[in-house]
Amino acid sequence: MSLPSINVLIQVAVIGLLTGGVYAVMVSGLTLIFGVMKIINIAHAAFMVLSAYLAYWLFSGLGIDPILSMIGIVPLFFFIGKVTQRRVLSPVGDDPGLLVLLTFALAITLEGVLGSISGSTFRTVRTGYTSSIIPVELSSDLTLRLPVVRLTGFVASFVVLGVLWLILNRSGLGRAIRATIQNAEAAQLVGVNIARVRSTTFGIGLASVAIGGALFSLIFSFNGSSHLDWISKMLAIIVLGGLGSLPGALIAALILGVAEAVSAVTMTSYISPIVFYLILFLTLVFRPQGLMGAKVREG
Amino acid sequence: MTSSIGRHRWLVALFVVLAIVGAACGSGDDTTTTAAGTSDTTVAATDTTEATTDTTEATTDTTEAMDSEPIVVGASLPLSGDKSEPGTAAKEGYEVWEAMINEAGGLLGRPVELVIVDNASDQNTASTDYEKLITVDEVDFVVGPFSSFLVIPTSEVAARYGYAFIEPAGGAPDVFNRGLTNLFFAQPAPGSEQADPFADYILSLPADQQPATFAIVSQDDPFTLGVMDRLKGFLTEAGVELVFDEVYAPETTDFSSIAIQVADLDPDLIVGGTVFDDSVAQIRAYQDAGYQPRAAFFTTGPSLPGPFREALGDATEGVFAAISWFPAAPGFQNAEFVAKYVEMFGGDEADIPEDAANAFTVGQVLAQGVENVGAVDNAALIEELHKGTYETIVGPLSFDEVGRPQGTFMVLQWQGGSFVITDPGDRRQADPIWPKPAW
């Protein structure tokens, strides 16, 4: 098969960039939770699928648009996150091995529950704007077709990351979170309630993945087991970005989104998931701290 | 700190166990984790007992109705594990057949009793189950499990004891190339021939309407690739040029890049080797990329009317697929089967799985074969099944010397809010729309 034309490459790269934005929303909570608590939340993708199902059920049952349903799902997930951290994760203590095991258990519990409720049929949300595109004419023979749902995801990624940045850098809670990241014991000594900071951070992490899930439901098909394919992608993104770094996660998501899309047309689509992990492998070998260091940066 | 972990370790353990059980009971997707996979066996063990008790209870009533020794038909099905969804559907199909035949006076004037056990989607368990059904339970007949994966080892067990083995869902080439003469595949044709009638239709079009170019975008799956290979052969031989041929990994969810390439080449016909969700994802990606083919065919996806329509809406118009059975199909006893299924298991007739219908077909073939023989005699039944033609809900079935069915799939096309049969000609419900409208 011959190499694709430059027009095809440009279009593919732009779609990859938009998809990368959606990836960024999906992983922002994961990297934040790691930054504050040093927990790798294996259940992150499962919570995303749960949110996607809620969006799907609200849409198919009540006709509520997934973007609108975020108003209910996001606070719900914040609450679920807070309770999960307090009642499930916190009692176990600080052993990272146990915590990973526990979040893995959470993930397969969610998978099992969703599987028994809705079977293995793949679902997706189809709204009035599902197949709408915005044409952007670059030249006489190249018109970019930007799918509205992916564009929405791309814009949302900057909104979500912007809000997270504001919370971290312009609020009392953010200061407490940053203090906890830097030195939990010292923060506690000066009166920061680190138990509360941790549960709130977990809540914020899940709230952000609720947004990711609603966007996910508009773009992709999913069933209860879909989280298994996505958690590995998510981990690859946050490792490339630098565990705990929000700007790093955004840049890594965009890079991997484009790399995945472009490799699918320049090599074969079979190779594109491998490219994802090849980049991860090279990161681990040559820059194990990722693109943006190891902590949530202050801007 | 350590003491705190110690204190809560039991909690973690409990949680993990709960989670594993949850996963095992839940989703029937192919991508189950190892943890979930291993736990299947434990859950399966309990299920098996339940299943057997269930069927025994169910049949006690009918035994009372007909005052003679029942004819016992045994099967081992994947009722848990990764094939639990189609396995359960097959169980339902067998149970509908059992109920209907007993209401109609039984087989050879005797009531029919089903014994169904759970093999947890495991090959070894399935083989052991059939061994036990034949040698310990001494059932009169056995019928097959779901999918080639389990049919291949279990049909050998049946062959060893001289039992006829009519099966609902094993159509891979390896099912037929082992020289077994006791196996009969109760679908209209082997899976790989699914697209044959569609190829016939394309090639029957007048030369000026025939597509000049086509693209194949297929999942890496033995079933879809088998179908694609045959279709590719027919079309390229007839001079239709293959301009794009892509095989993607099963976990692929995003088809944007592929669709942009396909749109750039703009072939007249797009053929998707799909399993379900990928047909939806492909069509959405083609819409986004602005690709409008003159015809589109997908192996599986369009034949699952509910979820397909829900996910795509009006974009379904004109899309082709192939199918062996559907609720409104004009097959022998189909209306009765559909009514009985809804009566027994509830839901909407559109929700009846094809796998249940295929299992029911097995029952129809078995019953007619046994009635023709006139006795419980597996050797005579095997001989009979190689000769006869049997009326079933998927149309008349007969078998060649290795049990390959001698029929064809039906071509369906989405027209309006549902699909209709457009080929073969004798089963046509509406003329095909060509070229298809934009999606």
Give residues 212 to 271 of A whose Cβ lies within 8 Å of B: 220-221, 223-226, 228-229, 260-262, 264-265, 268-270
CB contact under 8 A, A112 and B257: no
pLDDT of residue A245: 87
Domain CATH code at residue B150:
3.40.50.2300
Q: Which residue has the higher pLDDT, A1 or B351?
A: B351
Give residues 179 to 218 of A whose Cβ lies within 8 Å of B: none
By Cβ distance, the residue of B27, B220, B307 closest to A224 is B27
Give residues 159 to 188 of B whose Cβ lies within 8 Å of A: none
Asked if B216 and B356 sit in the same domain, the reply is no
Supply the DSSP symbol for B68. Answer: S
Mean pLDDT of B143-162: 93
Its domain, for residue B199, covers 193-324+410-427
Q: Within 10 A of B45 (CB to CB), how many other CB atoms are there?
A: 13
CB contact under 8 A, A123 and B311: yes
Q: Within 10 A of B282 (CB to CB), how many other CB atoms are there?
A: 25
Mean pLDDT of A157-175: 90
Asked if B266 and B342 sit in the same domain, the reply is no
Asked if B267 and B416 sit in the same domain, the reply is yes
Asked if B200 and B141 sit in the same domain, the reply is no
Is residue B355 included in any domain, yes or no? yes
H-run or E-run covering B216 = strand B213-219
- How would residue B18 be classed by pLDDT, with cut points 50, 70 and 90? low
Min CA distance, A249 vs chain B (Å)?
A: 20
Asked if B370 and B279 sit in the same domain, the reply is no
- Spell out which residues of chain B touch residue A119, defining contact as CB-CB under 8 Å: 27-28, 85
pLDDT of residue B28: 38
- How would residue A38 be classed by pLDDT, with cut points 50, 70 and 90? confident
- Spell out which residues of chain A touch residue B25, defining contact as CB-CB under 8 Å: 112, 115-116
> What do you get for the CA distance between the two ends of chain A, in Å?
45
CB contact under 8 A, B247 and A270: yes
- Highest mean pLDDT (candidates A260-269, B22-31, B148-157): B148-157
CB A9 within 8 A of CB A262: yes
The tally of domains found in chain B comes to 2
Residue of B nearest to A218 (CA): B311
Asked if B155 and B38 sit in the same domain, the reply is yes
Asked if B366 and B379 sit in the same domain, the reply is yes
B149: Cβ–Cβ under 8 A, 6 or more apart, which residues?
B83, B123, B170
Asked if B77 and B124 sit in the same domain, the reply is yes
CB A209 within 8 A of CB A23: no
Is residue B164 included in any domain, yes or no? yes
pLDDT of residue A3: 74
Min CA distance, A257 vs chain B (Å)?
A: 11
ipTM of the complex: 0.89
Is residue B65 included in any domain, yes or no? yes
CB contact under 8 A, B23 and A109: yes
Give residues 253 to 292 of B whose Cβ lies within 8 Å of A: 253-254, 256-258, 260-261, 264, 276-277, 280-281, 284, 287-290
Distance CA A92, CA A89 (A): 6
Asked if B310 and B338 sit in the same domain, the reply is no
Min CA distance, A166 vs chain B (Å)?
A: 32
Residues of chain B with pLDDT > 90, as a percent, come to 60
Asked if B49 and B74 sit in the same domain, the reply is yes
pTM metric for this prediction:
0.79
Asked if B319 and B357 sit in the same domain, the reply is no
Residue B385 structure tokens: 């099944």
Asked if B318 and B417 sit in the same domain, the reply is yes
Is residue B399 included in any domain, yes or no? no
CB B317 within 8 A of CB B340: no
Bridge partners of residue B415, in order along the sequence: B418
By Cβ distance, the residue of A112, A221, A260 closest to B23 is A112
